[in-house]
Chain A
Amino acid sequence: MTAGAVMTAARLRASLPAYAFLAPWIVGMLGITLGPMLLSLYYSFTDYALLGDPRWTGWDNYARLLTDERFHTSLRVTVVYVALSVPLELAFALLVAVVLNRGLRGLAAYRAIYYLPSLLGGSVAVAILWRQIFGRDGLVNDVLALVGVDGPGWVSSPEYSLLTLVVLRVWQFGAPMVIFLAGLRQIPDDVYEAARIDGAGAVARFVRITLPLLSPIIFFNLVLQTIGAFQAFTPAFIVSGGTGGPSDSTLFYTLYLYQRAFGSFEMGYAAALAWVLLLVIGVLTGLNFLFRRYWVFTEDEPGGVR
């Protein structure tokens, strides 16, 4: 046995307790998750109409991406959506979480109320609601009419429809807010006490204590909300009735993928789309992890903020 093999064997043995903890995860990965993932990678190199058998076509699906204008549209729409909605949503969620964290009466009620829009999720009711608010005769235009402005149908104009979906996401900021709240709970009170005794004001406490100590949670929300926003499907699906309209202005990436897979029975092409998306998100997530060491504080790394 070589020295390397001995070392590997030793490390394997040392890894056994961890593998025990990971046992359910490993079973799930091998049994349920990994197979279908690899299969979809295979489909991306085939012509697969769902009802028939897949037929190997090599790189054809990926080549088609280059000339598919609706794919380019969907990518553009999605990137704009992610770039606008994720920072806004996170900033909003963090702000509200800090305000709702402590100090005022009736916070529990506020927390519940602020979470309500997120409870509605992708309910079909939201589609009608959005039209009642942002439609041609909606609330927004009623208000604008008071100041003499004749507004367009915001959900139904290609210039603005995507913005209303950004508003929708920001409005449903409850999930990151709850996670921030949970994170804030992990920061011991005495840290704040000490700062207060040192004479630090509210802003200074937020910048010097809350932000660094919450940074792992901010990081988590940033990574996951980015991934989630790239895969946003339901809002566009329900608000546009599944078309991505008007004139493709809300054609989210996964909505287009879904149309290809289930509307046109092009599962092979849809799989190629999916793997390109995985690549895009993967690179972005990788960058996020790479830059993490510059701003995310963990107990693992000594020399962080203290």
Chain B
Amino acid sequence: MTAHVIGRRGFLGLGAGLLAAATAGCGFGGADAGLRVAWYGGAPVHEALDAALAAFTAGHPDAQLAAERAAFGDYWDKLATQAAGGQAPDVFRMSMSYFTEYGQRGALLDLGEVAGSIRVGDLDPSVADSGTVDGRVLGIGQSTITHAGFVNRTQLEALGLEVPQRGWTWDELADLARSFTAAAGDGRYGTVDAGGIMQIFDVYARQHGTDLFTADGALAVGRDVIEEWFTFWDALRRDGVAPPADVTTESRTFETSTLVTGRAPIHFGWVQQATFYQPLMRDVLEVVAVPAGADRSPAGQFVTALDFWCVSSETGEAERAAQLIDFLLNDDRAIRAVGVTLGIPPSERARSLLGVDPASAAGKAIALVDAVSGQVGPSPAPWPRGYGELQETFQRLSDEIGFGQSDPARAAATFADEADRVLSS
């Protein structure tokens, strides 16, 4: 049985009269859309990409583009349904979280076959490579990211504490957070509880010698390291230095984060998020590296692409699609239109072209990328299928420790078991 059979039966059942009557109404007609381009994001992304697409159409009067946009969460439900129904957009924005899923299922076109028209020479090397799976170019990175610590300078300095420098260690993080908590008093904490953020744990794991996952998608990090990580954060929580679990679980969006609400001066995430946090804050935000191991090297971090431009394997307009991606990455007009809305631009050339004010949040984020670029370790393979699920599992297990429903050892064991199950299926 296939969906097609049902489809035809549906067509017969509905009847042409009804169809004609219904389609006669205003706004009810479908049209051939041309090249469909889909992305996720908020208003700034929509405005930026609309402008970039307009610039492309201006240069290619014969090109017809149709934009489809959605918020991040909604986008994936829609894309999955469209792809399952053979109706995926021609060009779409893809997140690292779903890249392997779509890639391995054959939904993405190998751009190597048409890549002649996409120039990747300017891209940061680690970004240019990150869309390549088994020698096939399934996506072109559209932004450069690395891990970052976000620090509220105003709050720290008000209490006579110093903003940490690149190369700070986990112990120094704990010390600084303890000092802040002691000085700041009730209802404020020294640091966000990052125990549940698997992507920051990734850095910690690499400082202990392994990636999170092996290149062929099995769990690489040891249970002892996971347990150590959970224990580190559990201690901070117990001492009131990191917030209790109920505060943490209600501060997981940018707007409600402990950084924005002023409850904790230290936060962690992807570097470009500085540009989301800063506008929500009155205080001055600084962007620093994630704490290092005893050797103070940033090698635990990596630089990669978080988002890609991909082309549907079912597209009828591969060349036009490639042309568009090339334009978005390399054309000055597109680079200016996109700015930093998609993240830190993925090439040195784009970053200097934009001439971002170094004192702005975006400028500070770019500075961190430039500073660590030469020193970070090699990028891991694209995230395995099931990465998103494990990310949620990691967070849930960390919460359970915080709520006293579990302990670091048990949570570490559960995570390892879950990882084995999810990654093998």
Contact = CB atoms under 8 A, between A and B. Distances in A.
Consider the complex of A and B and state whether they touch directly, i.e. have CB atoms less than 8 Å apart: yes
Interface in A210-251: 241-243, 245-248
Given A241-B253, A245-B249, A158 B403 contact: yes
- DSSP majority for the A interface? loop
A257 interface: no
A52 B385 CA distance: 14
A262 interface: yes
A54 B246 CA distance: 41
**A interface residue count range (under 10 / 10 to 19 / 20 to 34 / 35 or more):** 35 or more
A158 B403 CA distance: 8
Nearest to B11: A31
Given A50-B84, A135-B250, A264-B386, A245 B10 contact: no
Contacts of B77: 262
B196 to A, nearest CB: 10
Nearest to A130: B250
A52 B247 contact: no
Interface string B351-393: 0000000000000000000000000000000000110110010
**B interface residue count range (under 10 / 10 to 19 / 20 to 34 / 35 or more):** 35 or more
A156 B84 contact: no
B405 interface: yes
Given A31-B13, A241-B252, A246 B245 contact: yes
A69 to B, nearest CB: 10
Interface stretch (B36-44, B101-109, B122-130, B226-234): B101-109
Interface in A252-268: 259, 262-266
B310 to A, nearest CB: 13
B9 A35 contact: yes
A51 B10 contact: no
Interface in B1-34: 1, 3, 6, 9-10, 12-15
A156 B105 contact: no
Interface string A9-31: 00000000000000000010011
B3 A263 contact: no
B76 A36 contact: no
Interface string A45-56: 000011110000
A152 B253 CA distance: 19
A177 interface: no
Contacts of B395: 243, 245
Contacts of A42: 1
A136 interface: yes
14 contacts: A27-B15, A32-B10, A32-B14, A50-B80, A51-B101, A51-B106, A156-B249, A156-B250, A245-B249, A246-B245, A247-B400, A248-B396, A264-B422, A265-B80
Given A158-B403, A245-B395, 4 more contacts: A31-B10, A42-B1, A131-B256, A265-B80
